[in-house]
């Protein structure tokens, strides 16, 4: 099933967006590491790797339908945050942007009756529900811990258990 130029462009844009997410989360990982929050660093390291895998999935999909992969530009990202809550707030808001982008591409695939792209993108809608939920869960834990240092150590330790 061939890709229209428009759909191919949108999928390539998503590849860059997934790499951008990896780049952003790597900035967070560097910040968390500097902070000495080992568990949180571990969590974000895995998240960074996951985003690279998402980019790879989109690349493979484009290739599998004989499309042309283009690697677009990614922007500079900060390594400067203001505590754990600010990191996961920024992460959650970025995931929401990614969800919106994937939903827009899915709408285009549906409009063009591109069933292969539709099926592929639907799995990513599910993935995004999970991603937002993961970020929201951590943010809730961080907010619950508040200024309690002991509770924050427990949160960090829990984040260190992510597989």
24 binds Fe ion (CB under 5 A): no
Q: Which stretch binds Fe ion (CB under 5 A): 53-61, 63-71, 86-94, 149-157?
A: 53-61
Q: Answer yes or no whether residue 54 interacts with Fe ion by CB under 5 A.
A: yes
- In angstroms, give the least distance from the CB of 95 to Fe ion: 8
Contacting range for Fe ion; rule: CB under 5 A; set: 36-44, 50-58, 82-90, 151-159: 50-58
Q: Give the residue closest to Fe ion by C-beta.
A: 54
Hunting for tokens 């000495």 — which residue is that?
Answer: 36
* Minimum separation from the CB atom of position 18 to Fe ion (A): 5
Q: Which of 121-137 are b and which e, b meaning 16 or more Cβ less than 10 Å from the residue's Cβ?
A: beebeebbeebbebbee
Residue closer to Fe ion, measured from CB, 125 or 144: 125
Q: Which residues bind Fe ion (CB under 5 A)?
A: 18, 51, 54
């Amino acid at each position: 099933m061939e890709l229209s130029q428009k759909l191919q462009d949108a999928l390539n844009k998503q590849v860059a967006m997934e790499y951008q997410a990896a780049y952003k989360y790597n900035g967070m990982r560097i910040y968390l590491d500097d902070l000495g929050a080992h568990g949180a660093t571990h969590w974000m390291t895995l998240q960074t790797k996951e985003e690279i895998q998402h980019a790879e999935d989109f690349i493979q999909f484009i290739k599998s339908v004989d499309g042309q992969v283009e690697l677009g530009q990614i922007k500079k990202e900060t390594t400067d945050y203001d505590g754990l809550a600010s990191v996961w707030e920024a992460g959650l808001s970025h995931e929401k942007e990614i969800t919106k982008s994937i939903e827009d591409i899915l709408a285009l695939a549906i409009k063009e009756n591109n069933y292969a792209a539709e099926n592929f993108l639907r799995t990513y809608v599910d993935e995004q529900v999970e991603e937002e939920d993961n970020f929201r869960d951590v943010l809730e834990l961080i907010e619950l811990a508040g200024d309690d240092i002991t509770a924050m150590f427990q949160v960090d330790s829990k984040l260190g258990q992510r597989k």
